[in-house]
Amino acid sequence: MKKRQRTDDNSLLTGCRSIDDNFEHLNKIDEGSYGVVYRAKDKTTGEIVAIKRVKLAQEKEGFPITALRELNTLLSLEHENVIRLNEVVHGSSLNKVYMVMEYCDHEVKSILEDKSMQFSHSQIKCLVKQLLQGVEYMHRNYVFHRDLKTSNLLYQNEGGILKICDFGLARRYSEPVTNYTGLVCTLWYRAPELLLGFKQYSKEVDMWSVGCIFAELILKTPLFMGTNELDQLDKIFKILGNPNDQNWPGWKTARYS
């Protein structure tokens, strides 16, 4: 399954290529909850790409819903600040499926952890602007990410481009808002309404994460580092104050289920 440029007949997909025949494995980049990421070279074009293997070993009822959502979301999005999905390829057996994406040089998190590399104030402004551009584009297309954090932001050396990645928890949302699972967003970047168990939420949860990322870029460390949900709320309220009708209108009547 390969992503193409849009044409008059809106054809987006062609048949899958084989990873063994078409790509040269270079090295392992990272491993997360939803897959392992490798760096590889396309033998046909010479392009360096990132290849994410979709984890299927634990799946007993077909293709994982997280992978399907990520594929569907990435195929529908096309923006400079959102990671580009090039194609989906297959391995030597049915349980080996890979997503081929554009390669970026760094995770933003790894840059922040490297004391020899520092973002200037102007660079931070540029990064936050790009993050907001990518998030605004997603929200304009009724997609929320639900796991924005510095480890899910990539950085390209050429041009200093920021890319939002890892759409395993992303999905389309509707207006007016409806019920969604509250088990989203990494704890340190999780909005208060999620921590309090609200089931009806919308794109605001992404904007909270953006604010946490902005603070982390400046402080070089996460702003709210709770050990559990209650401790996370405590740290938020100590800095921002307790909820009231002025800073959180309607919080008393928000629905929990």
Q: What is the CATH number of the domain that holds 201?
A: 1.10.510.10
Q: Check whether residue 14 and residue 95 sit in a common domain.
A: yes
Contact 179, 237 (CB under 8 A): no
Q: Check whether residue 73 and residue 149 sit in a common domain.
A: no
Q: Check whether residue 64 and residue 16 sit in a common domain.
A: yes
| C-alpha closest to that of 94 among 48, 58, 133, 63 | 63
Q: What does the block give as tokens for 152?
A: 């899910």
- Of 51, 74, 102, the one marking the end of a domain is 102
Total tally of structural domains belonging to the chain: 2
Band of the pLDDT at 66, cuts 50, 70, 90?
Answer: confident
- Of 77, 102, 127, the one marking the end of a domain is 102
Beta bridge partners of 251: none
Q: Check whether residue 130 and residue 84 sit in a common domain.
A: no
Q: pLDDT per residue over 119-139, tens digit each?
A: 889 999 999 999 999 999 999
* Position with higher pLDDT, 212 vs 51: 212
Q: Check whether residue 63 and residue 120 sit in a common domain.
A: no
Q: Would you name the residues annotated as active-site residues?
A: 147
pTM: 0.84
Average pLDDT, whole number, for the chain?
84
Q: Check whether residue 7 and residue 77 sit in a common domain.
A: yes
Contact 131, 153 (CB under 8 A): yes
Q: Check whether residue 179 and residue 85 sit in a common domain.
A: no
Q: Provide the percentage of residues in the chain whose pLDDT is more than 90.
A: 42
Report the pLDDT value the prediction gives residue 225, as an integer from 0 to 100. Answer: 96
Report the pLDDT value the prediction gives residue 230, as an integer from 0 to 100. Answer: 93
Q: Which residues contact 102 (CB under 8 A, 6 or more apart)?
A: 49, 50, 83, 84, 86, 163
Q: Check whether residue 97 and residue 123 sit in a common domain.
A: no
- Of 102, 131, 159, the one marking the end of a domain is 102
Distance CA 39, CA 78 (A): 22
Report the pLDDT value the prediction gives residue 256, as an integer from 0 to 100. Answer: 53
Distance CA 244, CA 235 (A): 17
Helices (H) and strands (E) in the chain, counts: 7, 13
Q: pLDDT per residue over 89-105, tens digit each?
A: 887 776 778 889 999 98
126 three-state secondary structure: helix
Q: Check whether residue 201 and residue 76 sit in a common domain.
A: no
Q: Check whether residue 96 and residue 110 sit in a common domain.
A: no
Q: Residues 143, 135, 73, CA angle at the centre, nearest 5°?
A: 35
Report the pLDDT value the prediction gives residue 9, as an integer from 0 to 100. Answer: 40
Domain ranges, residue 165: 106-253
| C-alpha closest to that of 174 among 208, 200, 195 | 200
Does the pLDDT at position 255 exceed 60? no
Beta bridge partners of 37: 30, 52
DSSP 53: E
Task: Please state the rounded mean pLDDT for residues 73-102.
Answer: 86
